[in-house]
Amino acid sequence: MAAAITALFTRCGYYAITPPSAAASAIAATAFIATVAESLPLNKWVDDNVTVPALAGLVGWWLLRPV
């Protein structure tokens, strides 16, 4: 779903990501890191409803930012 939304926004001209395979790998890496963060047993100290989206947003921003 994230890849489809990214492709739609790129096609509409909101931002340009070239090549598309780099965007797909960045989206897959972001999803993997968010999945790993969700599976960590840290919910005793921090709320994963805050940390997982924050981590995913930070990693996605870092991997998909324009060079």
Q: Over 90: is that where the pLDDT of 32 sits?
A: yes
- Say if residues 42 and 48 touch (Cβ distance below 8 Å): yes
Q: Over 70: is that where the pLDDT of 29 sits?
A: yes
Q: What is the pLDDT of residue 43?
A: 67
Mean pLDDT in residue range 23-41: 89
Mean pLDDT in residue range 57-64: 89
Alpha helices in 1-67 (DSSP H): 2-12, 20-39, 48-64
Mean pLDDT in residue range 25-42: 88
Give 27's contacts (C-beta < 8 A, 6+ positions apart): 2, 3, 6, 60, 64
Q: Over 90: is that where the pLDDT of 46 sits?
A: no
